[in-house]
């Protein structure tokens, strides 16, 4: 088991370094000069000021030299200063992390539970009306653009039914407070973003769990259990579903990346001040340091999630760690 853990950590470290290098090169080779954009925003668009910012931020140096300096700083815990906010990148990111996790983690967990439950119900009678209906709903939910789903939910539950607040973190009258009403209002504002992300995360769990259950139903042990007189629902829920849950665990790491990508659009629609919205602001401002810091955090989150998934999967299935 110790060797298994070591192999996963070492391979994940090289993945993280590779992603860091690729992200840095792509971002720094993209068109647009942060100094020019910053000068236009401040109204100081003189060539001398732009040249001053370019030299101050080291943008006049070759990409390979900037990459070496960036990696050295990252290994020493320095993510740099944001061009736009003039604050340490790490501080900006850590201020937004809890807000993004507050909508992404519940959406992944709920998506897993909903997808698994619906897949189990669909497999009780494969090819039946319930199976076809649930599959249609899952595929439609997975195919719909997430920002469009967010707008539909706002129109339905905020504009028409007036049940939930449409956008923002809290209501204006509660800004600055820190009591029970504040967190209750924040929870109400988080419902629609969580539902939006859940509608995009549950279909993969549904498809995978359903395919595994259908495959398991044709196995010899299932035929034997039915021949012994066990009811079909007991075989499905007690024996087949237990084996079908294992592949779904591997999706957690992948879904973490998709959840952060979806959060960028969802947070923008709902004006939720998380990492995703901060990333869009950094893209528009060509804030290289902030953008690379966010990509580093997202990459690290996905890598750690995959390590945890590998360890859990190896614990549940000894064949994996022995291999």
Query: Within a domain: residue 234?
Result: yes
Query: Within a domain: residue 182?
Result: yes
pLDDT value for 152: 94
Query: Within a domain: residue 7?
Result: no
Task: Dihedral sign for Cα 104, 106, 109, 112, please.
Answer: negative
Reference 188, options 170, 214, 202; nearest CA is 170
Query: Within a domain: residue 13?
Result: no
DSSP notation for 196-221: HHHHHHHHHHHHHHHHHHHHHTTSHH
Instruction: Give the pLDDT mean for 124-133.
Output: 87
Query: Within a domain: residue 29?
Result: no
pLDDT value for 41: 63
241-282, pLDDT tens digit by residue? 777 777 777 777 677 766 776 678 888 899 899 888 888 888
pLDDT value for 154: 94
Query: Within a domain: residue 28?
Result: no
* pTM to 2 decimal places: 0.82
pLDDT value for 316: 64
| Structural domain boundaries, residue 193 | 89-322
Mean pLDDT of all residues belonging to the chain? 83
What residues are paired with 81 via a beta bridge? Answer: 88
Q: How far is CA 49 from the centre of its chain?
A: 38
Number of domains the chain contains: 1
- Assign residue 131 the CATH number of its domain: 1.10.3720.10
Query: Within a domain: residue 51?
Result: no
42-96, pLDDT tens digit by residue? 665 677 777 777 788 787 788 888 888 888 888 888 888 888 888 899 999 998 8
């Amino acid at each position: 088991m110790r060797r298994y853990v070591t192999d996963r950590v070492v391979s994940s470290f090289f993945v993280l370094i590779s992603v860091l290098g690729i992200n840095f090169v792509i971002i720094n080779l993209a068109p647009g000069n942060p100094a020019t954009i910053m000068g236009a925003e401040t109204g100081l668009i003189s060539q001398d000021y732009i040249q001053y910012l370019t030299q101050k931020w080291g943008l006049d140096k070759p990409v390979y030299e900037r990459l070496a300096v960036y990696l050295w700083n990252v290994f020493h815990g320095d993510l740099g200063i944001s061009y736009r906010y003039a604050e340490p990148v790490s501080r900006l990111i850590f201020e937004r992390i809890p807000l993004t996790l507050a909508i992404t983690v519940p959406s992944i967990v709920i998506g897993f539970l909903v997808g698994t439950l619906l897949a189990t119900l669909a497999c009780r009678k494969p090819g039946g009306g319930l199976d076809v209906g649930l599959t249609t709903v899952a595929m439609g939910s997975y195919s719909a653009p997430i920002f469009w789903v967010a707008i539909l939910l706002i129109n339905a539950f905020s504009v028409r039914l007036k049940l939930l607040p449409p956008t923002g973190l809290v209501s204006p009258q509660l800004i600055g407070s820190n009591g029970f009403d504040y967190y209750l209002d924040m929870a109400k504002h988080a419902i629609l973003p969580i539902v939006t992300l859940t509608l995009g995360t549950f279909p993969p769990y549904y498809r995978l769990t359903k395919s595994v259950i259908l495959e398991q139903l044709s196995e010899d042990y299932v035929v034997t259990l039915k021949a012994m007189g066990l009811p079909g629902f007991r075989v499905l829920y007690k024996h087949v579903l237990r084996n079908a849950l294992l592949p779904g665990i591997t999706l957690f790491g992948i879904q973490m990346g998709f959840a952060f990508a979806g959060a960028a659009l969802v947070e923008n629609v709902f004006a939720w001040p998380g990492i995703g919205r901060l990333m869009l602001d950094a893209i528009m401002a060509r804030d290289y340091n902030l953008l690379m810091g966010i990509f580093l955090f997202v990459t690290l989150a996905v890598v750690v999630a995959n390590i945890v998934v590998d360890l859990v999967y190896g614990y549940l299935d000894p064949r994996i760690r022995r291999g």
